[in-house]
Amino acid sequence: MDRGAAACEPPEYVAVPSIDAIEALLARPLLDLVYDAATVHRRHHAPDAMQCSQLLSIKTGGCSEDCGYCSQSARFKTPVEREALLDVEAVVANARQARANGADRFCMGAAWREVKDGPEFDRVLRMVQEVKALGLETCVTLGMMNGPQARRLRAAGLDYYNHNLDTGASHYDQVITTHSLADRFATLEHVRAAGIHVCSGGILGMGETPRARAELLHQLASLSPQPESVPINTLVPVAGTRLEGATPLDWTVVVRMVAAARILIPRAVIRLSAGRTGMTEEGQALCFLAGANSLFIGDELLTTQNPSPSSDASLLGKLGLRAVAGASGGDREACGSGRCAG
Binding site for ligand SAM (CB under 6 A): 69-70, 72, 109, 111-112, 141, 143, 163-164, 166, 203, 233, 235-236, 238, 274, 302
How many whole angstroms separate alpha carbon 72 and alpha carbon 83?
10
CB atoms under 10 Å from CB of 177, counted, come to 12
**Mapping DSSP to helix (H, G, I), strand (E, B) and coil, where does residue 215 land?**
helix
Piece in contact with ligand SF4 (CB under 6 A), picked from 1-9, 68-76, 120-128, 203-211: 68-76
70 is known as an active-site residue: yes
Q: Is-contact 64 178, C-beta < 8 A? A: yes
271 is known as an active-site residue: yes
Which one of 65, 130, 137, 228 is in contact with ligand SF4 (CB under 6 A)? 65
How many whole angstroms separate alpha carbon 236 and alpha carbon 162?
18
107 is known as an active-site residue: yes
Residue 60 CB, shortest distance to ligand DTB, in Å, is: 9
67 is known as an active-site residue: yes
DSSP assignment of 250-284 equals: PHHHHHHHHHHHHHHSTTSEEEE-TTGGGS-HHHH
Out of 139, 256, 262, 287, the active site residue is 139
Out of 8, 107, 287, 340, the active site residue is 107
111 binds ligand DTB (CB under 6 A): no
- In 288-335, the DSSP E strands lie at 292-297, 322-323
Looking at beta carbons only, is 3 or 77 nearer to ligand SF4? 77
Residue 185 CB, shortest distance to ligand SAM, in Å, is: 13
70 binds ligand SF4 (CB under 6 A): yes
Q: Mark 129-168 with x for binding to ligand SF4 (rule: CB under 6 A) and - for no binding.
A: --------------x-------------------------
Phi, psi of 221, deg, nearest 5: -70, -25
Q: How far is CA 205 from CA 69, 225, 245, 325, in A?
A: 10, 27, 11, 30
340 is known as an active-site residue: no
205 binds ligand DTB (CB under 6 A): no
CB atoms under 10 Å from CB of 64, counted, come to 14
Residue 315 CB, shortest distance to ligand SAM, in Å, is: 20
Which one of 127, 214, 295, 302 is in contact with ligand DTB (CB under 6 A)? 302
Q: What letter would DSSP give residue 246?
A: P
67 binds ligand SF4 (CB under 6 A): yes
CB atoms under 10 Å from CB of 283, counted, come to 16
Alpha carbon 200 to chain centroid, angstroms: 6
Taking the CA atoms of 257, 258, 264 and 269 in sequence, report the sign of the dihedral they define: positive
Q: Which residues are catalytic?
A: 63, 67, 70, 107, 139, 199, 271
**Using CB under 6 A as the criterion, which residues of the chain lie in contact with ligand SF4 when the complex forms?**
63, 65, 67, 70, 72-73, 111, 113, 143
**Using CB under 6 A as the criterion, which residues of the chain lie in contact with ligand DTB when the complex forms?**
55, 71, 107, 109, 141, 162, 164, 201, 231, 233, 236, 273-274, 301-304
